[in-house]
Amino acid sequence: MFIDEARIRIKAGDGGNGCMAFRREKFVPRGGPSGGDGGRGGDIVMESSERHNTLVHFRFNPEHKAERGRHGEGSNCTGRDGEGIVLKVPVGTSLYDEETGELVHDFQRPDESIVIARGGRGGRGNQHFATSTHQAPREHELGRAGEEKHYRLELKLLADVGLVGYPNVGKSTLISRISAARPKIADYPFTTLEPNLGVVTIGEAPYEESFVVADIPGLIEGAHLGAGLGMQFLRHIERTRLLVHLVDVSDAGGRPDPVEDFKVIMGELKSFGHGLDEKPMIVVASKADVANPEKLKKLQAMAKRKKLGFYAISAVTGLGVDALKYAIGERVRDLREKDLAAAESTQSESLG
C-alpha cells in the first residue's frame, strides 16, 4: 500500500511536579526544606530514514504521546525525565503545521532530525524557595505542560527523472526495461495506481553513474478537475530535475493527434503549478515499432520547433532505449552540476 499523505496528533510529555518536603533525620536538627524538582517531559523527534518509503505507519497510528517526567521527591531527589519518542519518516517528507499550513521542515537527506514537540519543564521543589527570612517554605511548582501539535505529512518522492504521459503509453514498460523496477504492466489504462521508482545505472565501474526515475500514474484531460486518477501523484515530480514525456505514436491507442496529446498533458502540468511545465524535458515517441509514420513525423517536428530533445523508442523491442537512457543520464549530469554551482554561489553570497 502506497500512502503519501497523513495527519498526526502529537503530545510531548508534561513536566513532573516539584515536591514539598522537609528533612527530618536524626542528628540533623535544622534539616530544612528538601523537596526535589520534577523531571522534564519527553520530547518528540522526527527523523528521516531510508528504511521507510511510505507514510502508512502514520495513517493507522495517528496519535503519539511522550512520557511525562516523574514528580520530585524528598531528600532533594529530582524526578526522572520522561522518555522521548522518535518518529521515522521517509526521505522526501514535508512536515506542515496543520493549523497554519506553514512548512515546518523538508526532509531531503537521510538521518535529518528535528524536535517537533518539546516536553514540559519540571516544577521546582520547595528547597528553591527557602530564604533567610522564610526558612520553611511550603511553595512548590507544578510541572509545565508539554507541547501539543497537529501536523500534516506529505511525501514527495526524490527522483532525478519523472516519466509523464497519457495512460498506457509505455511508461511502466520503459522503467522496467532500464531499471530493476518491476511495476504492473497490462494492456489497459491506469494499470499503474501508485508511483514506482527505479534506479538506472549507466557506464561501467569504476566510472558508472546512476539516477533515479519515477513512473507517475497516467494523466488524462481534466485531471486537475479530478478526472481519471486526478493529479494526486504529481507532487512526486516536483523535485525532479528532468521530465521525460512519452507520447504514443501508434494507432493502437485510439488518439489521432500526438501533438494534441502533448499539449493536453502540458496543460495539466501547468494547471497543477509548481513550475512543472517549465522543467527541462525530453520528448519520447513511444511504441515506435508499430508507429504511424505521419504521427511520428508530426511529433518530431513539434519537438524541433520547441527545441526539445526527441527520441523514438520501443520499450517492448528495445529500439532506441539505450540511446534514450544515455541521453537522460547526460542531461541529469549537466543539471546536477548546474544545481551544485547554484548552491555554491548562494552559499558564498550568504557568507560574503
Question: Are residues 244 and 309 in contact, defined by beta-carbon separation less than 8 angstroms?
Answer: no
Identify the band that residue 31 occupies on the pLDDT scale cut at 50, 70 and 90. confident
The pLDDT assigned to 207 comes to 65
* Statement: residue 183 has pLDDT above 70: no
Q: In whole angstroms, how far apart are CA 24 and each of 29, 72, 133?
A: 8, 17, 20
**Res 124 pLDDT > 60:** yes
- Domain ranges within the chain, ordered by starting residue: 1-155, 161-351
DSSP 265-330: HHHHHHHH-TTGGGS-EEEEEE-GGGB-HHHHHHHHHHHHHTT-EEEE-BTTTTBTHHHHHHHHHH
DSSP string across 113-132: EEEEEPPPPPPPPGGGG--S
Q: Is the pLDDT of residue 192 over 90?
A: no
pLDDT at 231: 59
CA gap 306, 130 in Å, rounded: 81
Residue 246 φ/ψ, nearest 5 degrees: -90, 135
- The DSSP letter of residue 225 is G
Which cell is 285 given? 515517441
The overall pTM is greater than 0.75: no
Strands (E), the chain: 5-11, 44-49, 63-65, 85-90, 93-97, 103-106, 113-117, 148-155, 161-165, 196-202, 209-215, 242-248, 281-286, 309-312
pLDDT tens digits, 209-264: 888 888 877 665 655 555 544 556 677 778 788 999 999 988 876 678 899 989 98
The CB-side HSE value for 340 (13 A sphere, CA atoms) comes to 6
- The mean pLDDT of 315-322, rounded to a whole number, is 89
Instruction: Give residue 78's pLDDT.
Output: 94
Amino acid at 14: D
Rg (CA), the chain: 29
- pLDDT above 70 covers a percentage of the chain that reads 88
User: Average model confidence (pLDDT) for the chain?
Assistant: 85
Tell me the residue type at 55.
L
Contact of 52 with 93, CB cutoff 8 Å = no
Instruction: Calculate mean pLDDT across residues 111-119.
Output: 95
Position 158 pLDDT exceeds 50: yes
Candidate CATH numbers 3.40.50.300, 3.20.20.80, 3.20.20.70, 2.60.40.2130; the one for domain 161-351: 3.40.50.300
Predicted confidence at residue 156, as pLDDT, reads 80
Of residues 333 and 206, more confidence is placed in 333
Q: What is the pLDDT of residue 350?
A: 65
- One-letter amino acid at 189 equals P
Q: What is the pLDDT of residue 1?
A: 44
Q: What CA–CA distance (Å, rounded) separates 18 from 246?
A: 67
CA–CA dist 258, 278 (Å, integer): 20
Q: Which pLDDT belongs to residue 51?
A: 84
Q: Which fold has domain 1-155?
A: Spo0b-associated Gtp-binding Protein; Chain: A, (2.70.210)
Q: Give the model confidence (pLDDT) of 35-73 as tens digits.
A: 999 999 999 999 998 888 788 888 888 999 999 999 999
Residues of the chain with pLDDT > 90, as a percent, come to 45
Region 299-307: mean pLDDT is: 93
Answer yes or no: are the C-beta atoms of 238 and 276 closer than 8 Å: yes
